[in-house]
Each structure stands twice: as structure tokens, then as C-alpha cells.
Amino acid sequence: MKHMMKSGVAALALAFGANAAAAEGELVLYHWFEYIPQELLDKFTEETGITVTMDTYDSNESMLASLKAGGIGTYDVSVPGDYMVSIMAGEGMLDTIADGELKNKGNIAPDWADPSFDPGRQSSIPYQWGSTSFAVNRDAYDGDIQTTDILFNPPAELQGRINMLDSQGEVMAMAALHMGIPQCSTDREQLKALNAMLQEAKQHWASFNSDTAKEVLVSGDAAVGQIYDGFSAKAREEGANVEYAYPTQGYIAWMDNVVLLKDAPNRDNALIFMDFLLEPENIAAVTNFAQYNAGLNGVESFLDPALAAQPEKNPHANAGPGVFIEVCSEEVQSVYDQIWTNLKK
């Protein structure tokens, strides 16, 4: 039996010893879980003959941790969120795309062509964008929900029935909007007030949960949930009487981007893939799948018409500004960590 085991291990090593490196006609994609339809990858392979190997992650931070621990040089492209693009650029993890290397670059919508997190789109192209705020169950509360008070200073009906995302970035950014202070403020009084406000608000929260953010709304376990716009739409489609809020104080905007990683083993194929995703028809397939928004010109005709009409996609007239989560300096980040630990100690 021992002998069998040994040869079994050897066979495994031969059969599966991951061979992610630069074989011709390959592309190694490091992507979020469930964020690209398999059909689209098949189409890409069909059109170009390039086979795609995909590895997945569950958060921007875990992707960063894995790349830091030695993943650079394994993958060609990954799909970080806005703030993570600037962090990765700062870490020297991104390769620069020279002018003319992407023939479809002109398809990028003007709004997204020169974002603050990657000026001039040197290493990235838009993937999907959307917003994060919160949804309220209208059976539980019929008052005004277009205010961050719902999360941080909730009316009596909603107290103890609030689910927050278990994510420091989203909670802190929303809290800053609520208090009307800049994100990553260095002002001590403001930071102290932020700390105190969160301590106070926590008493009214039932849970921190990202994995089942949608389920708790559908099941009615939570009457308010901090949530992404696409998730809120899905909760509504599943029968929950929830309304997605665009608070007057503002909401969080986010954009995921396809980036070219440094030391990509298949750099040319990565560029072909990015050009592929810059075709309106292809990126529209992602949008129809994930129910967010594309950042290209000319996608409208390929989109599911029901998508554009969703209330989650159409901020009302009094909605505050959509702001990206900012990247804090090391000093402020360590205060933020302290506040977050205080909140959950």
C-alpha cells in the first residue's frame, strides 16, 4: 500500500504540478470569485486560441497578501478595486501599458478614462463599477431613508436590526460621510469624534456580515443592510421589499479594474485579453451577469434592458456625491485600525 501511495503522489505531481508559467497561448487570470461568466472566457479562447487559467480571491486585501507572499510572476492580470489599484501601483506590482499597445483603449468612457487611482489609465482598464450604500426593508420602516442616520443614528424601529459589511474600508468611509469629515482625516478631534460616534452606533447594530449581506435582507433577519447596489437589486428580485438608499450625505462609489501585473508571464496575451474586454459587447456580457455597470462607450445596445431601469442604478435628484474609498497614509491607517479594533473588541 505504501508503494502505491508513493507512486500515486508521483503521478499527481506529474499530472497536476501546476504549470502556470509561460507556455504559448496561455493566460493566467487572478480574479474575484464568480465575477466573469464562463461563457465569456470560452468565447475568448475560441476567438484567440489562448487558453485561460483562472485563480480566484475573495477580497482585495487577500489578493494583495497572496501577491506579496510571492504570487507576482505567476499571474498576468488581476481585477483590483479602485483604491487597491493605487496601492498596487505604489507597491510596484503593476506594469505600464505603453501608448498604442491597446487598440481599443478609445472605447473607455470619458468619465473613466483618467481616474484618480490610475491617472491616464497607465496600467488598468475599467471592468465594472457601482455603488455601496444600504438597503432598508420598507415593511419595517416607511420614513425617510435617504440619510446615513439610518445606519449610524437609527430610528427606534430599526435599532438592533442592522447588518453592517464586515469591512473596515466600507464602514469607515460611510462613517466619514455621515459626519461630514474628509476620509483619512488627520485632524485629531475629528478622529476622536469618529471613534466615539462608531462606539455609539454599534449598540444599534445586530451583526457584521459580508458573506450573507443579501440573505439577511431577504430572510428578514435584518431590516437594514449595508450592501452593494447589485446585491440590493438581487434581494429585491428575490422578493424582499427593500429599497436601496442614496443618502443625501453621499454614498460610496467603486470601480473594479483589470490591471496588467508586473512580470506577467504572458504579457502579450494579457494585452489581447484586455483589448477583448474593451469591446462593448464583451464587457456588456459581464454587466448582464453581475448586474453592475460597464465603463465603456457603446455598451447600451448589448445590455439587458431591465438592468437600466433598476431603481438601484438610478440615484434620485437629492442624492449626495458618490465618493471612492480613499487610501490613507500609514499614520492615519494605524489610527483607523485602532478605531476598528476598539469597535470590535
Partner 1 sequence: MANKQFDIKSYPGFKGITLLCLVILYAPLVVVTVYSFNASQSLTNWEGVSLRWYSDVFTGPESGKFKTAAKNSFIIAIIAATTATTIATLAATGMVRGGKFRFRTVSFGLISLPLMVPEIVLAVATLIFFNSIGFERGLLTILLAHIAFCIPFAYLPISARMQGIEDSYEQAALDLYATKRQAFTKILLPLMMPGIISGFLLAFIVSLDDFIITNFVKGAGVETLPTAIFGSVKQGIKPNIMAISTMLLSVSIVMVTISYFVSKSDNTK
Partner 2 sequence: MAAGAASGGSATTDTYKEARTWLLLPAWVTLSILVLAPVLMMLIYSFLTKEFRGGVIWEFSLAAYDQFFFDRGLFGDEPPKIEWTYITIFWRSIWQAAAATLLSLAIGFPTAYFIATRSENMRPVWVFLITIPYWVNLLIRTVSMKFLLRDQGPLNDFLMNIGLIDSPLHIVNTNFAVQLGLFYSYLPFMVLPIYAAVERYNFALSEAAADLYASKWTTLRRILLPAVKPGVFAGCILVFVPSMGSFLAPDLLGGAKNFMIGSLIEEQFKGNAGNWPFGAAASMVLLTMVLIILMFSARQQAKADKAGG
187 near partner 2, judged by CB under 8 A = no
For partner 1, give the closer residue by CB, 32 or 251: 32
Among 179, 221, 303, 313, which residue sits at the site for partner 2 (rule: CB under 8 A)? 221
Residue ranges binding partner 1 (CB under 8 A) = 2, 5, 8-9, 12-13, 15-20, 28, 30, 32-35, 37-39, 53-58, 62, 65-66, 69-70, 74-75, 211-212, 214-215, 218-219, 231, 234, 237-239, 290
Q: Is 241 in the site for partner 2 (CB under 8 A)?
A: no
Judged by beta carbon, residue 220 or residue 322, the one nearer partner 1 is 220
- Calpha distance 237→214 (Å, rounded): 11
HEC letters along the chain:
CHHHHHHHHHHHHHHHCCCCCCCCCEEEEEEECCCCCHHHHHHHHHHHCCEEEEEEECCHHHHHHHHHHHHCCCCCEECCEHHHHHHHHHCCCECCCCCCCCCCHHHECHHHCCCCCCHHHCCEEEEEEEEEEEEEECCCCCCCCCCCHHHHCCCHHHCCCEEECCCHHHHHHHHHHHHCCCCCCCCHHHHHHHHHHHHHHHCCEEEECCCCHHHHHHHCCCCEEEEEHHHHHHHHHCCCCEEEECCCCCEEEEEEEEEEECCCCCHHHHHHHHHHHCCHHHHHHHHHHHCCECCECCCHHHCCHHHHCCHHHCCCCCCCCEEECCCCCHHHHHHHHHHHHHHHC
Q: Sign (positive/negative) of CA torsion 162, 168, 170, 172?
A: positive
Q: What is the rounded distance in angstroms from the CA atom of residue 269 to the CA atom of residue 44?
A: 11
Closest approach, Cβ 12 to partner 1, in A, equals 6
Q: Which does 38 bind (CB under 5 to 8 A by kind): partner 1, partner 2, none?
A: partner 1
Q: Residue 4 CB, nearest distance to partner 1 (Å)?
A: 10
Q: Is 202 in the site for partner 2 (CB under 8 A)?
A: yes
Contact between 330 and partner 2 (CB under 8 A)? yes
How many chain residues are in contact with partner 2, going by CB under 8 A? 40
Using CB distances below 5 to 8 A depending on partner kind, what does residue 195 bind out of partner 2, partner 1, none?
A: partner 2
- Closer Cβ to partner 1, 47 or 211, answer by number: 211
C-beta closer to partner 2: residue 314 or 342: 342
| Comparison of 63 and 255: residue with beta carbon closer to partner 1 | 63
Identified binder of partner 2 from the candidate list 55, 149, 215, 279, rule CB under 8 A: 215
Position 59: which residue type?
S
Contact flags string 63-82 toward partner 2, x per CB under 8 A:
-xx--x--------------
Binding string, residues 289-328; x marks residues near partner 2 by CB under 8 A: ----------------------------------------
Cα–Cα distance measured from residue 119 to residue 117, given in angstroms and rounded to the nearest whole number: 6
Interface pick for partner 2 out of 91, 139, 144, 268 (rule CB under 8 A): 91
Among 32, 112, 273, 336, binds partner 2 (CB under 8 A): 336
Partner in contact with 218, chosen from partner 1, partner 2, none, beta carbon below 5 to 8 Å by kind: partner 1
CB 82 within 8 A of CB 325: yes
Contact residues: partner 2, CB under 8 A: 59, 61-62, 64-65, 68, 87, 91, 166, 168-169, 188, 191-192, 195, 202, 205-209, 211-212, 215, 219-221, 330, 333-342, 344-345
